[in-house]
Amino acid sequence: MIKKIVHFILKQRYYINSEKYISFLKSKGIKIGSDCVFREPRTAHIDLTRPWLISIGNRVDMNVNFHIYTHDWGGHVFIGKYNQMLNSSGAVTIGSNIYFGANVTVLKGVNIGDNCIIGAGSTVTHDIPSGSVAAGNPCKVICSLDDYFAKRLKVAPLEAKDNVRSFYQRYGRYPYENELSEESIYYDGQPNLLPPPYKFTSYESFLDWCKESISE
């Protein structure tokens, strides 16, 4: 009993942060590329029964409660019904530049291509082609990444303005620059694909644009 407790305590050191967890998974034989991150390693479950069946590419972002399974345990039921055990396993291959929302499960035999977004709560039971936005249980392709990006280019600036308006309505003042994060893309002067009306020379000019929709 004491050995089990000690083993459990020692194992927790691998879940302290994403870097340590990825090193732990690699030590078990799982292939993981560069610039990957587990947002909350303590909630992740990566099937270690067959680590040679799991490959994860570069720049993969895995949110809370991310699970991968390379097998199922249907054989348990077969034994009870037919007195016959049957094996069940399949490789999981995840490409590069992928974002997984919260509470995603990837099941055996699945291949997810590059440049994909997998929505929160999805159970991935079949292959997802490269350049897809997919979600659901079972997970299905909703649109292409190109179409989604084009839509976001139009909607994102309006969401930024609404975010500032909501801040003002909640606190009775406008946010300081350091209280915003992603909105810096509109005024940091870095090259981007945003339409010209949404490229501002400073935080102050961005804030002035946001104020246009706020009633004093």
Identify the pLDDT of residue 161: 94
Q: What is the pLDDT of residue 191?
A: 87
Predicted local distance difference test score (pLDDT) of residue 2: 62
**How many whole angstroms separate alpha carbon 23 and alpha carbon 5?**
23
- Mean pLDDT for 211-216 is 62
Q: Nearest to residue 105, comparing CAs of 87, 90, 89, 119?
A: 119
Let me know: does 199 contact 183? Beta carbons within 8 Å: no
For 19-63, write each residue's pLDDT tens digit: 999 999 999 999 999 999 999 999 999 999 999 999 999 999 999
> Using an 8 Å Cβ cutoff, are 18 and 41 in contact?
yes
Mean pLDDT of 147-159: 95
- Percentage of the chain exceeding pLDDT 90: 84
Average confidence score pLDDT of the chain: 92
Residue 118, helix vs strand vs coil: strand
Mean predicted confidence (pLDDT) in 93-107: 98
Strand runs labelled E in 145-196: none
Answer yes or no: is pLDDT of 10 > 80. no
pLDDT at res. 6? 45
- Which 8-state DSSP code applies to residue 104? -
pLDDT digits (tens, 9 = 90+) for 102-151: 999 999 999 999 999 999 999 999 999 999 999 999 999 999 999 999 99
The residue ranges of every structural domain in the chain are 2-138, 148-211
| pLDDT at res. 92 | 98
| The residue type at 152 | R
Q: Can you give the pTM of this predicted structure? A: 0.89
Q: Which amino acid is at 91?
A: A
**Average pLDDT value for residue range 187-201:** 90
Does position 86 have pLDDT exceeding 80, yes or no? yes
Q: Return the number of other C-beta atoms located less than 10 Å from residue 114's C-beta.
A: 17
Quote the DSSP letter at residue 188: S
Say if residue 172 is exposed, middle or buried (CB neighbours under 10 Å; 0-12, 13-18, 19+). Answer: exposed
Assign 175 to helix, strand or coil. Answer: coil
Indicate the SS3 state at residue 150.
helix
- Domain 2-138: top CATH class: mainly beta
What confidence category does residue 195 fall into, taking pLDDT thresholds of 50, 70 and 90? confident
Task: Categorize the per-residue pLDDT at 212 as very low, low, confident or very high, splitting at 50, 70 and 90.
Answer: confident
CA dihedral for 207, 212, 214, 216, sign (positive or negative) = positive
Residue 4: pLDDT band by 50, 70, 90 thresholds? low
Residue 3 has pLDDT above 90, yes or no: no
In three-state secondary structure terms, 112 is: strand
Task: Look up residue 104 and give its amino acid.
Answer: V
